Structure 1
Amino acid sequence: MRILKLSTAIAGLVWHQAAASAALPPPTGPYHVGLQKHVAPVLNEADPFWPNNISTSFLVTVYYPTTQDPSPHDWQRPYLDPATAALYEARYNLTTGSLSVLPSPGLIPNAKPLDFHRSKPLPTLFFTPRRRPPTEVYTLLLSDLASHGYCVLALNHPYEQPFVRYPNGTGIYGLPILYAWDEPTVLAVQSTRVNDSLALLDYLPNLEGETGLELNKTHVGIFGHSLGGSAAAATLLAAERERHDRTAASSFRAGMNIDGTFFGPLSAVQQPFLMLGAEAHGTSPDPNDSDATWPAFAAAQQKTTSAYWCWVNLRGTRHHDFSDIGYWKQAVPAIRDGDQQLGSIGGERLVEVWRAYVRGFFDVALVGEGDGGGAGVVGGGGGCGVA
């Protein structure tokens, strides 16, 4: 394990005092976390929400390991964009400032990237969110992965998500948080997300030059929440279909769907895959929790692939718990009363378990280390359990 050595005892004291007073759980790994934003080019000619239905770019937020020490300001800076915070405060009928005052868990904008020296960088991870939140609403998970050595590329999709701010300061408002989606729109959005992810896969050498990061371009994982999880599976299938037509060496080696219905044709993927769901997802007779696509996807994996895969349900969780909102309900208790998609699990315990399972899976599937995160994760045929 790589060990982070702080420059002085004083720096260590400042870091621990700041972490102890933070309103958000700090990352748990041996590294600090840098943050950059970059614009990646793409061409989607059937994007349902861009002007003229043609999208030409998307935003990539990069979380990455660094040995640079956070300053006191890095712990005090609000971690949500003011516009994003205001939208969610309105969504939950909160007092203005309830979310905008939540401080960063020590993220360092444009920090110096970690120098891996002779060791190979850990795999690169792509993340795509559910239909509404921008990726900053998943900071607690994504930053923790980076603190353990992963480079996480989080995709934001302008005009679809409620608010996205480009690196030059331009802010783009998109759909209302409670926008009603129909299935044709969901399928169209999933198609654009698959195309965005494949475009980013080919763009990795350019992104290396822009960020100064050393990215692992041969071992790449992809995961997402809700629609983002379905899009992750669809991306693996699309990448496999196009494998012989692509010249880039980059490839996806594992994927994960976090509590998302699978949209589109259900086919087995050929890479290690985790289905990480809320407590009753895919197993309950309750129409609000039932999801026939999960047993169907599991059956396809069981019959047609020998790749490591698993299905885990987390006790006490519901759909919105798989984002920072699952912790906000503890920091701002009024949120719990305004959201029926939040479960009974406590915010701190949720973050601990969620982080452990996601990182544990990628440690096994991409790095070849660990045990998959704990009970309920098994290989060679999969498993289903409530953890």
Structure 2
Amino acid sequence: MRFIGSICLLLSVTRAVLVPGPTGPYAVAMKELPLTDTSRHDPLDPTGKSKSRRLLTSLYLPVDKSRRACPAVTVPYMTPPVAASYGQQATQVGLPDTLYQPFQMEFCDLKKLSPCGQASNKNKKYPLILFEPGLEESRLIYGAMARSLASHGYVVVSVDHPFEAPAIQYPDGTIIEGIDFDPSDPKVLPKLMKVRTDDIVFVINQLENQKVMKPVLADFPGTIDYKQLAIWGHSFGGATSANVINVDKRVVGGLDLDGMVTDPVLSNNVAKPFVLVGHEGHDDEDPSWNQFWPRLKGKRMELSIANTQHGAFKDDLMLVSALDLPAAAKEAIAQVLGSIDPHQLDKDLNGILMAYFDLLFHGKKQSLEAIPHNFANVTILRGNI
């Protein structure tokens, strides 16, 4: 197709493409944090040889830039094995396998932040938000979205799940490739949800462990408010979020971004606040939300974002917006991801999340109720908050 040739040509001559920056008032720093759970063998290791479960997380840290500007550092959007994995997926729709390689992201470089800047807001507390990727997805394909939320004053932590994620490259260079799972097998999704839930509980334990976190946050001009802890996720990650809030009392609420709900969540009541956010027409394609709705016993709401498809809630829309594509290419992409402007979607999602966190952490429901008035693409389908 003509537009695919245009993309190939553009990528072949572009050394680097900067992912559009976040819109919030805070600069954002990013740290990778590998965590090893020695209390369990890795249940997903196909060789059965792993005596521990080795996770990798990204911490997106808001930095108050009102007093002192933060020097910037540019890093690759994806590690090479993750970019290669998503590149292989791109070839299935006729796009080049190098599609994700040119992208880079800009962050605040805490190492170059002056000591005065580091100390100026050391006592400022930020809520902690965990993010769960979709089934067999990398946390990195949501990096721009996580950074964007962090720019509004939240510490965002995204988690990769080894052997399920398409690939993970650890800071020491170790690479774990993903394996294929068949979601039609009735045993697969419950097993993966159990593994993911155990992963998240372990991650929370480590985030609360000062011996682990003190060196990680030594140059961070702020602190984490562990009492303000919520979780959200896309697709299967959204369903996992519902399971996590049932299992871990420290997590006060969750949000499912366009994810089908499966057992064991579908068979259990959820007493804590929970929000469903779907692409346009989600309930017409997925009956699980109607089945799940009576299980939500706490404050609840379902919202829909117009002109979106399931894939819109990854970074792809934002990535392609950074490319100077012909109209035919944009039209083809819209058929797969939705026609919504990615910058508007960013505002819509952050608006929903911040309003929901206002309810969770401060008991204020006005912002969430006002969402349709402030964001024209968003509709409240039902709710009781």
TM, length-normalised to structure 2: 0.77
Q: Is contact 2:17-2:102 (8 Å) kept?
A: no
TM-aligned CA distance change 1:48 to 1:337, over 3 Å? farther
Answer yes or no: is the 8 Å Cα contact 2:60–2:146 preserved in 1: yes
Aligned to 2:161: 157
State whether residues 257 and 276 of structure 2, in contact with CA within 8 Å, keep that contact through their aligned partners in structure 1: yes
Correspondence 1:1-387 to 2 at 5 A: 23-42=18-37, 43-45=39-41, 47-49=43-45, 51-52=47-48, 55-66=52-63, 67=65, 69=69, 71=71, 74-75=73-74, 77-93=75-91, 94-95=95-96, 97-106=98-107, 108=109, 116-119=121-124, 121-175=125-179, 180-182=182-184, 183-206=186-209, 207-212=212-217, 214-240=223-249, 251-265=250-264, 266=266, 267-282=268-283, 284=284, 289=285, 291-301=286-296, 305=297, 307-331=298-322, 337=332, 341-368=336-363, 371-372=367-368, 374-375=371-372, 384=381
Distance (Å, rounded) in 1 between the aligned partners of 2:348 and 2:160:
25
Q: 1:356 offset after TM fit, Å?
A: 2.1
Over aligned residues, Cα RMSD in angstroms?
3.1
- Aligned counterparts of 2:175 and 2:55: Cα–Cα separation in 1: 13
How big is each residue's C-alpha offset from its partner over 1:314-359, in whole Å with a ceiling of 9 and x where there is no partner?
1111111111023234445659747965222233322222232223
The CA distance in 1 between the partners of 2:333 and 2:89, in whole Å, is 9
Give 1:69 deviation, angstroms: 4.4
State the distance in 1 between where 2:79 and 2:301 align. 35
**Structure 2 counterpart SS, 1:130:** coil
Instruction: Report if aligned partners of 2:129, 2:232 keep a CA contact under 8 Å in 1.
Output: yes
Q: State the distance in 1 between where 2:98 and 2:380 align.
A: 43
Taking the aligned partners of 1:292 and 1:344, their CA distance within structure 2 comes to 24
Aligned length: 337
Structure 2 unaligned spans of 5+? 1-15
Q: TM-score, normalised by structure 1?
A: 0.77
CA distance in 1, matches of 2:71, 2:176: 30
8 A contact 1:161–1:173 mirrored in 2: yes
CA distance, structure 2, for counterparts of residue 255 and residue 141 of structure 1:
17
Distance 2:330 2:57 in 1: 28
Q: Which residue of 1 aligns with 2:5?
A: none
How far did 1:233 drift?
0.4
Identity, % of aligned pairs? 24
Deviates more, 1:137-146 or 1:110-119: 110-119
